[in-house]
Each structure stands twice: as structure tokens, then as C-alpha cells.
Structure 1
Amino acid sequence: MARPGTSIDKPYPIQRQRNQFVTPKPTIDSLNPRPQSQVVPAMLWSIKKLLISMCQNAKELDKKLGDIPSKLQLPAVRTPYRPVVAINEKCSTTDGNISVLRNWMEQTGIDQEVTKNTITLVHGDLGVLERVRAILKTRARERTDWESFEYIEAAPGLFHTLMAAANAVWRTYLEPKSLQKDLHGVYQHFAHLYPKDHAKLKSNAPFRMLHDGLQHTLLAHLLEYAREILNLLSANELEERTFKIEEIDLLAKAIYNEYIAHAPALSADASFLVETEEAKLSNEEKAKQNSRLFVRDALLYQVLAVSMKHGAVGTVEDVLWYWIPIFKATRKHKYAAYLLDFLTRLSSLPPELARAIRLNWLLNPTGRHDGFRAVDWVIELNNLYLKAVYSGSGPNKTIEHILSQSGIIELLRSCHENIEDNFEIRSRTIRHAPADMAADIAFLAQRI
């Protein structure tokens, strides 16, 4: 839940002066796109990336595509980390979070001297953000900054934010019963991809189903748009052709300008105008509008997911501004409020401190170019190993045993990997091979 304090070159005087970094009150202008925003270039990059995946010379084009556009790109260096011993506390309470923070600092050797010139960055889900805010804002009169946690900075966990974004798309395009009846709508596309999970799609679809389904459905839409622009008989002809990177670039720009840039705006001020125009549209035109709206939001989700995976922190920050009004519209008011508060505060902090927070927003457990992960994702992975893999079985599966194993999770995993390497065990089942979805995507493209 927490990460070691990040030292900064210039020690800021945080002694009793947290008000020095008070977050400006957000206004409606805060939601306007930033002048240097990389969201549109990242959307074009994502379109090209998906189109290239279906081309015959995909490997050649992928090398020429380059990295996703970003103002701040993290280096692909392995991030060392070590789990600490877990404690049995209720994280749903403010006192429980205080106990967790104190215990974590005691285990890592962080004391009052360390916190004088450093900031401790705490990552977590929405509940953690609420508890940390309660610690910082509703407290008694402590004598020192150590007692009042003045050195704490809370950052929203990007993995939970990504899950909230996927759920927001589900609430918009899959949950409404009126849209489920549309034979060419998004719900029917998901129903084809998951024919045995209609009940889950209607009630509350899990994250992995939404994550994969969004990518497959988005790709089907892009293939159909490419077929219309290139005047092809079917989307399957794209797989048989060899493209140049310049042709992919022109095709992506044509798709964006024709189908995405002209999607209805998110502005609340234009609601009356939109309702008036909708009354004049036929059912077929409304279906096309819904399709373009879905592609736009699915691209925003794709940009968020891919930029996190590639360590493009600048693009992550830019695209989160677009998700704030979407969260508000889908009844996720707390996510919208905390994201707006964090992003506004990040822009008001001293440049060195803000850069330190951005550089520690993601980590890279493997050191691969596309191996960046959110900190809360690593925490959830450790929870999986702790509660399901190394938790014992039968009468040995007790809280005391789980707590005793929590500090050596990485050691146990390393022992398993060494044994598998030494005995040359092939079927490790660590990662499943991706399913061949070419036929399903081509079928969806025909129904759009």
C-alpha cells in the first residue's frame, strides 16, 4: 500500500507548512484539454497499433511504429521491490491505516530524521485515498510533523482506476436494457465474444472480460472503418495485404478524422442542442452515433491501458483528465472527485516534487519495455500469492501462518522458478497463450 520515501534534490521545508502546498480549488476550466495534451496523438498511435496487429507484415511495421507519444517516458529499468510483513489490521478504518503506516515505517527503517527531507508516496484504491485524506485533514493538535503525517502524499492506484474506467464503459454501453436490444450494438458484440456469460454481462461484468472485450470490439470497429475507407469487400482483405508504415499512418488519420473526431461532444452545456438533434435522427443514424461514441471511449480506455503498460506517465496524466467527466456521468463521483483533486494538486506542487511523484507512479517488475505495472497491481499480485498460493491448506490455513509467510513471498516464488528451471519444466502455466480471435473479430466487423 505504501512505497519508500523518494528523496528530492531540494529539501522543502515541510515543518508545519503543509498549507504551503495547498491544492487550488478546481474549477470548470480544470477539465478543459491541456494545450500540450498528448491524448489525440496517443489515440492515433493506438489506432495504428491495432491496425498493424492485423496486417500481414505486422512485425516489420511494429518496429517502425515507435513508442506511444508522451511528455514524460519512464526508462525501461527493472524496479526492485520487497514485500514487508503483513499485519492484521482493518484498513477500512482511519486508525487501521495509521497502524499500517506506522508498522510499515518501522519495518523499512523510516524515522523522523528520514522524513524531514523526503516525501512518502502512498498508493492505493479509493478506500485508501479516503483514509489518508482523513488522516491529513481531521486530526488532533500533534506536536511534530511525524505525528501529523505531514510527509505523506497519496496517489490514486492506476490499476483500480483502470478497472473503474472499464466499469464506466460497461455502465454506459452494456448495462442499459434499451441498448441490449440493439442487434448491432456493443452488448451484442460482447454477447458473441462471451456466449456463456450473458448473465455476467447484464449484471456486473468482471474486469478481465471487459478489458479483453473492449480491445476486440474496438479492433472490429477499426477494421470496418478501414474497409469503408479503402473500398474493400471485406475486412479479411486487410490481413492479406502488405502495408507500408506511411499507408498505416494515413489510414489512421482518415479513420480518426472521419469517425472519431466528429463524435458528439461531452459538453454538458450542449445537452439541449444534442437532444434537439437526436429527435431529428433516424434509428440507423442513432446507432451510428452510438457506435462512434463507443469507439471514442474505447480508444480513451486503450490509451490509458497502453500508456500504463509502456510507462508513458505523461500520457497517463493527460488522459485521466478526459475520464473525470465520464466518471461523473456514470455515477462514479468519488473517483471523479479524487482524480480531480490529485491532478490539480500535482500541477500546483513544486516542479521537482511533482516530477518525483510522476516518476514513482508506476514500477517495472521485469525491466521489459512494455512491462510497467501500477503499484496497486503488484500489491494485488502479492495478495493473490499470499492468500491463495502460499497460504497453506486445511488446518494450516490460519491468519498466523499467512502473516508469517507474507515477508518471504518473493523468496518462495524464486525457489519455485529455480526448481522449474533446473528440471526444465515446460508447462509452467504462468501465462496463457492469447486466443486466436481473428474469426470472431472478422464476424463482428461484418455486423457493425
Structure 2
Amino acid sequence: MRKRQEEETRKRTEESQRQTVLQETLDHLEQNDISFFDLLVYAFGSKTTTKHWKQRNLFSKPGAVNTVLNLWISKEVSKRGRRDVKAWAVDTVQQILEREAEAASQTGFLRTANRPINADFVLGLDFKQLGETTQLACPKMFQLMSAVATTQRQQGECKGVTLEHKNFIVTSVIVNLLGQRSQNNNYMQHVLGLYLYATGATRQQISVLNHLGLSVSYTTLAGRGGKGFTLADSVDGEEDQIGINATAGQQQRMGTLEKLSISMRERARQVAREEDTGKVYDNINMNWKVQEQVIGRTSSQENGTCATLIPLFGVTPEALKTSRLNESLDKAGLLLEKDLELTKSERDLLETCLVHAVLRIAVRYGGPELQVFSKEVEDETLVTAHKIPVHKTPVYPLPTMNINEASTSGNAEVVDAILKELRIDTSKPEFAEKLRPIAGDQLSIARLRSVAASRAGNEGGASAMDWALNTPGLFHYKMAASHGILQNHLGEANHDLNNPGSLSAHNTVLKRKPIVLSSLPPFRTCRDLIFTSLYARVLHCLVLVSGKPSLKQFSEDITWEELKAYARQVIKQFTDSRKVDKLRESREFGRGKGDMVFENAILFLRDALHLREFSDAIKSGDSGRVCIILKLFAHSYRGNGRTKYAQEMLHLIHNLTHIWPPDVKDVVLKNWLVNPTGKANSWVEIDLLQEHLNFWIKTFYQAHGSGASWEWLATISPCVEVLRQLATHVNVTLGSAQGNRHAEADLTEDLDELLGHLDHNNVYREQPGRIFGEGDRPAPDAIAAGRHALTWGANAPLKQFNSSFRKLQCRRRIQPLVGGHAVSRPATSPDIRTSLQNLTWTVKAELMSCLQRIALRTLRAPIVCIPFRLEIS
């Protein structure tokens, strides 16, 4: 205690002595007419003192400078003195910020000048990394802005997320200020402007945000003009790079979107040069409305074509040799009835797939008790050898073409325009030596095949189009199958009592808008009705085969093995068309027999399960499962009256079984589905991908009013994919957590209503004697009817198909008039023997058809075989 007192006394004494010395020093300065200012300037402004002395006497003491400056702005100093100190502080901070801003501009992390406008430019801005980069480039500026945005209390109380948000706001302000300092520092404004355009913002909205410094102007995005230069010339194969054939004025007028369009087109050309690629195209219908119409400016609907380039996956150079396909086609046999039927192994595979389709439906829609089996369903899902490995499919949209593909010549023009756009030289001999897959809807593929057939024997080389590997668009096949089911099972309106299993009755139970076959709603509405009805029927049939009174009791304490057994029983009991045949035959021999309601219910469950399995196989990317259902569609299309799709299925099955070599078949099966996300169970049909791109072009990116033109569509369409990626990127980084897909509709109440309706009306309980009301008719067995229509009669479609194929083979062996040698034979002129042999096939086919017609009219029976031979000596 005593020592502490002595220590305190000693310190007070020393402090008193120090104060005395300091006061004497000040008095001495005053006596000698030396101001304290002179002393400071002498000590720190001259070379009389060393840096070490300055450091030791002032700057080495922590907080010494802050203490002095704080004293100079305290109330003990005059107002003028405080004002001078603060003015000095502001000037000093201003200089520091100017130096930081200049340094940040020199680093170029926000600079757009001399930076290529391409996909990397659009997607390369990392908003999270931008804050760190800005803080490193402008640390004092960031500190000052943070002090404005955050109080001391908030610094201690706010959560980390809130402080991160404040830091991002500070970053945004600094970036905006740097953009105002130099127009070159507008990288973020460019990206946000493109984001606004990608999400459908109007010109006025973009202009408002431009005035707030958050975006570039609409003119900077879209340009002032010069669009004719950038795009119209490209179809003729001229260079359209920035700076080539362009004046300085034209370059200045080009907007960011125009530059991006040119870059994306050049990227597509590079991919076409360096990789094996396929193409898909589809028509796009543009409705251009004019509110105040005058002569030469009226509302119109115009038809064009959109196309997309897609790199092929899993192909080898050997698989894409045209000569191998031509040789295989020349040796190919005819399409036989057995080729259209499922083999024993395929039937077993189909049954397994349908059982798993029932299991998927039960687990997904059967309530929480059955959802516990989700892992078992996923683990036991059948996988064929043709399942596509998961990978992300790159997509390169091409400029929209003002070509109507509604005709055969239009399709040929589209293909020529695509090749010209990609700068592919078709005059080179090696062009026709390589297969190039082309995908589209049924009509497009049929017309391309027609073009190739008409040119066979007349034109050779590239113009013969034997290099085109026609790939079907499975989405349009799915639509045709859905329309066939709806056509057969919709039923008559207001016939709910005597046809309670019809889709019309179920549509009424679900209180949805009426559906009329002559004016169908969108495809999704029709498909949803079919699937919702299917889900209820599957759950109802599971309850029936289990003998339980309700779905709730069915789900209680059920095991996985029991659920699989019930699913197999449902397939066996309620999808067997032979049972339908027996019931309908019994009705023909006596009244009170058969059951129209039960018969239709069995056929619907079978056909809808086929459609569900087809959709699931596509989503999982399993081409093997897809092919099995397509064989069934070959018959059902014919039975439903979809004759064009039925004919297309004959070509596809013939290609798969007789024409395409195994590796060529593998090319098609691996590339008729695409995966834009690179995730499992995210596969879509290649033609559906094109439909999605068409949707974005029509909904978000088309110009309106006087700005609407094919030139602008050609400009914006190559940018669609990268703009959608930008929108997703910005939404995920800065937007709210909404996800990138909508929530699945809750069908609980819908299924409860349908389950009650099915049970009350005994739809899946056989009750002999039930018939439909007047005007309603039993649904045809589309598969059986299609099989019969396909093969019966002298002019059966299968026979006509084979006859046309033989004629095509003969024509391909003829030396073409122009363009090279015969497609299926060496480059030598055919002799008379070859020509007569080719003629033999044609004469034989025509004679056989004639004799068959005579036999049917006279003998009432077809001729099985007619010996025919043309001797050549």
C-alpha cells in the first residue's frame, strides 16, 4: 500500500516538472517572437530533423496524430481554426479518393472498352467477387461509404447477412460513381441492362434505371441502326465482324445486343468447324399488331423458321461416314410385320416398365405413407443399355430466318440457309462424306425425306442430301399420342351417368373448363387431364386388387414387396386388351353381355400408362425404353387416324432395324434428347428445346410496333440462350430464393374426388350389360386397329412403304444427271443389265399390286405369292 502511494507521488512530481518545462518552452518561444507554427514547420518541414527524429518524436506513439488532430477541431480552438482543419481534412480525403478512383479505372476491372462482347462478357461478372475486388481497389472509399451505411450500433447488432447486404450496397454505389467518372467503367451497368432486357423490361423501365445509374441506356443496348449491315448480309456469306466492311459510324451505331449477336453467331460457326454437330429447326409464327393501321402498315401474321446448333455427344468419326450408311441402305431388306411387333424380351421389358410406372405413380401421389418407398422406386427403376450418360448439352441458337418451312421447297431452303449461316462450304467433296443429324417435327422430317427422294438419281454430291441424318422430334410424337388418347376417350358431354369413365366426365368432376375436340385447349391442359385421371385410376385399381376398402387403409403397414405384387396385378388385370376383345365379342352374340364402361376403362389405363412411361423414359434419358413405346405408337397412331405419324414411325423403325448401322443408330439414340441443365432426370426432347427457344423469342425478345422486323429477330435470336443464363445467374445471386421452377400442383383434392367417382360408379368393376347412351361409342383398341389397318389389304400401308423403299433403292443406284456418282454404287455409269435389273423391281411391284387388286375383286382372297422373273441375256 505504501509503495503504491510512493509511486503515485513520484508520477505526479514528474508530470508537474514536465508541464513546467513545456510552459517554459512556450514562454521562451513567445519571448523570441517565434510562433508555434514556425516551430512545427521547422521541425517537420525542413531538413534540419531526420525522418527518424520525426518518427520517434511524434508518429511512433500510437494515436498521437489522432490526438493532435482531434484537439485542433475541439471547442478549445476557434471556429476559423476548426474550419481550416476540416477543410484540410476534406481536401486530403478528396485527393485520396481521386487517386483510388484513378487507380481503379486503370486496373480495368470495370472497363468495357476493347473488351469483346461475347458470352464471357455477359456471364463473367461475379457479383460476390465484385465487392472484394472493389474493396481492394478502393479501400478508403469503401471505408467511408461503409461508415455512411452502417452505424456503430448496427455494426454490433446486425447479423452477418445484413452486413453483407450493406457491403454490397456500398459496392454498388462505388461502382456507379466510378461509372460516372468514366464511361468506360460501365461493365456492371452493361450486364444489368442486359439482365433487364432478358427479363422483359420495357424501354421506359430501362431508361428510368439508366437515369439512376444502374443500367446503360436502351439505345446503348439495342443500337441506333445499322442492323441491316450486321445481319442481312450474313445470309449471303459475307463477313459481318465488327470493323470489317463497316464504317466508323456503323460501328458506333451498333448496340451491345448487336455485338453480342455477332459474337454468338461466330461462336456457333467455330463450333460447327471444330466439332460434330446436329441441327434442329421449327417454324415460328409472329403476330405483328398495328394499333393504328394505314396503307402499307397493317397487322399481319408472318411465318419464319428458328434453328439451333447442338454439338453431338458420344460420336466417333467412323459413325458419321456417309458411305457406310449408303452401303447399309442399299443392302437393307424390307420392313416386315415382325419388325413392328415387340419381341419376347421387349414384351417382358415393357411389362416391367409399366409395373414401375404404376409404382412411381403410387409412391408420388399415394400420400405420405407410400412416399417412404421413394428410394426403392429410384433404385429399382429399369435401366437399358441405351440410357444416355448424364451431361450438359451446349446450345447455340442461330438467327431467325424469314423462310416459311410449310412446303417441301421451304424446308430445303431452311437447310441451305443454315449451312450458309454456319459458313459450311457444300461445294467441297468432303462435305457429303459426313453425316449431319437434322431434327424437327414430323412434317419437317417427312419433307426433308421427300426432297432427298426426289433428288435421288437426278442430283449427286451435297445436293442429294444423303448426308442428312433425319432425327425425329419426340415431343411432337408425344403430342400426337396425347391427342389420340383424348380423341378416343373424351366421350360425349353430359353423358357422365352412362359413361362415367370418360375424360369428359372426369373433367366435369374436377370442375374444369369443357374440352371440345374441334377446338382443343393447349397441349399441357389436355395432358394434365389425361395424367390426373390416370393417377386416380392407378390408385383406385391398387385398392381394388388389395381388397382394402380405401386408399388410407391400403397404405397402412404395406411393405415394398406387397406394393410391387399389387402393381403387377394391376397391370395383369386392368391393362389386358384381350379381356376387352372377349367382352365385345360376347356382346355381339347376346344382349346383356359385355360392359362398355369397363372395356373403355381398360383401354384407357393401358394407353395412358404407355404415354406416362414414354414421358418418364424421356425425362430419364433412356432411349431403350423410348424405342419400346415407339413400336406401340406405330400401331396406335394408325388406329387413331394419325396416318402421317404412323408413316413416320415406319421410317424410324425401318431405320433402327434394317438401315442404320449400329454406331449410326447409337448417334441418333444419344442425341435425340438433350439436357440443358446437366442434371439427372432433366432430359427433354430436342424439338421441345427449340419450342422453348421460340417461346422466349416471341414472349420476351421480339420488338413491338414499328420496331418489329425479321432483321431484329435475326439479331436477338442467337442471344436467347446466353440471356436466359444471365437472367438465371442474376436471379440466383441477387434475387429472392424463389427457385428456378414453379411448385408442383397439389393434386390431393383432385385425386380424392376422382377416387370417389370411380368407386361410386364401379368403373373398374365388371358389370355385364352396361352400354353407353345415344351418340357415344366405345373407344377403339387403337393398337389392334392400327395393326390391322397397317398390314391388311392389297394397298396396305406397309406394302406401299416397302414398294416405295425398293423404288428409292433403285433410283439411288442410277448415275445422277448432275453432281457426281450414284449414291449407292461406285462412280461408274450403269450398263443395260443394271438398268433392266432396276426396272425389274419397279415392274414387279406394280404388277403385284395390280394382280392383288384383281384377286380381291374376283376371288375375294389375296394372292399370297406370284412367281415373277424378267430374264436378262
Same fold, TM-score > 0.5, yes or no: yes
Which of 233, 237, 262 does residue 553 from structure 2 map onto?
237
Contact 2:321 2:435 in 1 (8 A): no
Which of 19, 28, 35 does residue 344 from structure 2 map onto?
35
**Structure 1 residue 179: deviation in Å?**
6.8
TM-score of the aligned structures, taking structure 1 as reference length: 0.89
Q: Does 1:99 align with 2:413?
A: yes
Superposed CA deviations along residues 65-92 of structure 1, whole A, max 9, x for unmatched, are 2334434111121111211112111111
Which of 164, 170, 174 does residue 486 from structure 2 map onto?
170
**1:323-402 alignment to 2 at 5 Å?**
323-348=633-658, 349-402=660-713
Provide the residue aligned with 2:376 in structure 1.
Answer: 64
CA 205–186 in structure 1, closer or farther in 2 if over 3 Å, else same:
farther
CA 52–170 in structure 1, closer or farther in 2 if over 3 Å, else same:
same
**1:4-19 alignment to 2 at 5 Å?**
7-10=315-318, 14=322, 18=326
Superposed CA deviations along residues 302-352 of structure 1, whole A, max 9, x for unmatched, are 111111111110011111111122111111111001111111112112111
**Structure 1 residue 295: deviation in Å?**
0.4
Which of 718, 723, 746 does residue 407 from structure 1 map onto?
718
CA 155–435 in structure 1, closer or farther in 2 if over 3 Å, else same:
same
**Structure 1 residue 4: deviation in Å?**
5.3
Superposed CA deviations along residues 119-166 of structure 1, whole A, max 9, x for unmatched, are 211111121022111111002766642121111111221000000000
Provide the residue aligned with 1:217 in structure 2.
Answer: 533
> Equivalent residue of 1:123, what SS?
strand
Mean alpha-carbon deviation: is it higher for 113-122 or for 150-159?
Answer: 113-122
**Structure 1 residue 262: deviation in Å?**
5.5
Q: Does 1:276 align with 2:276?
A: no
CA 236–282 in structure 1, closer or farther in 2 if over 3 Å, else same:
farther
Q: Does 1:77 align with 2:385?
A: no
Which of 607, 613, 616 does residue 303 from structure 1 map onto?
613
CA 194–432 in structure 1, closer or farther in 2 if over 3 Å, else same:
farther
CA 338–181 in structure 1, closer or farther in 2 if over 3 Å, else same:
farther
Q: Does 1:21 align with 2:326?
A: no
Letter in 2 for 1:97: N
Aligned length: 440
Contact 2:435 2:468 in 1 (8 A): yes
Provide the residue aligned with 2:503 in structure 1.
Answer: 187
Contact 2:393 2:674 in 1 (8 A): yes
Structure 2: distance between partners of 1:225 and 1:76: 35
Contact 1:87 1:403 in 2 (8 A): yes
Provide the residue aligned with 1:246 in structure 2.
Answer: 561
**Structure 1 residue 49: deviation in Å?**
0.6
CA 320–298 in structure 1, closer or farther in 2 if over 3 Å, else same:
same
Provide the residue aligned with 2:401 in structure 1.
Answer: 87
Letter in 1 for 2:337: I
CA 408–229 in structure 1, closer or farther in 2 if over 3 Å, else same:
same
Contact 2:534 2:605 in 1 (8 A): yes
CA 69–193 in structure 1, closer or farther in 2 if over 3 Å, else same:
farther
Which of 757, 762, 775 does residue 447 from structure 1 map onto?
757
Provide the residue aligned with 2:734 in structure 1.
Answer: 423
Letter in 1 for 2:629: V
Contact 1:74 1:312 in 2 (8 A): yes
Provide the residue aligned with 2:827 in structure 1.
Answer: none
Contact 2:385 2:624 in 1 (8 A): yes
Q: Give the structure, 1 or 2, with the largest relative contact order (CA under 8 Å, sep 6 or more).
A: 1
Provide the residue aligned with 2:435 in structure 1.
Answer: 119
Superposed CA deviations along residues 272-319 of structure 1, whole A, max 9, x for unmatched, are x77532334747722112111110111111111111111110011111
**Structure 1 residue 225: deviation in Å?**
1.3
Structure 2: distance between partners of 1:30 and 1:180: 41
Structure 2: distance between partners of 1:417 and 1:114: 41
Structure 1: distance between partners of 2:415 and 2:358: 43
CA 17–209 in structure 1, closer or farther in 2 if over 3 Å, else same:
closer
> Equivalent residue of 1:366, what SS?
coil
**Structure 1 residue 399: deviation in Å?**
2.2
Which of 309, 312, 317 does residue 622 from structure 2 map onto?
312
User: Alignment RMSD, CA only?
Assistant: 2.8
**Structure 1 residue 235: deviation in Å?**
2.3
Give the share of equivalent positions with the same residue, in percent: 20
Structure 2: distance between partners of 1:107 and 1:223: 53
Structure 2: distance between partners of 1:11 and 1:233: 57
Contact 2:319 2:664 in 1 (8 A): no
**Structure 1 residue 397: deviation in Å?**
2.6
Contact 2:436 2:467 in 1 (8 A): yes
Superposed CA deviations along residues 394-437 of structure 1, whole A, max 9, x for unmatched, are 33232221121011101221232233233223457x53322211
Contact 1:89 1:99 in 2 (8 A): yes
**Structure 1 residue 390: deviation in Å?**
0.7
CA 17–145 in structure 1, closer or farther in 2 if over 3 Å, else same:
farther
Contact 2:487 2:517 in 1 (8 A): no
Structure 2: distance between partners of 1:399 and 1:192: 44
Unaligned runs of 5+ in 1: none
Letter in 1 for 2:545: I
Structure 2: distance between partners of 1:342 and 1:261: 27
Structure 1: distance between partners of 2:561 and 2:591: 37
**Structure 1 residue 62: deviation in Å?**
1.6
Structure 2: distance between partners of 1:237 and 1:200: 38
**Structure 1 residue 173: deviation in Å?**
0.7
Mean alpha-carbon deviation: is it higher for 99-108 or for 6-15?
Answer: 6-15
Letter in 2 for 1:63: K
Q: Does 1:149 align with 2:458?
A: no
Q: Does 1:139 align with 2:455?
A: yes
CA 172–183 in structure 1, closer or farther in 2 if over 3 Å, else same:
closer
Structure 2: distance between partners of 1:393 and 1:426: 32
Structure 2: distance between partners of 1:291 and 1:334: 27
TM-score of the aligned structures, taking structure 2 as reference length: 0.47
> Equivalent residue of 1:154, what SS?
strand
Structure 2: distance between partners of 1:16 and 1:327: 32
Structure 1: distance between partners of 2:701 and 2:558: 49
Q: Does 1:261 align with 2:573?
A: no
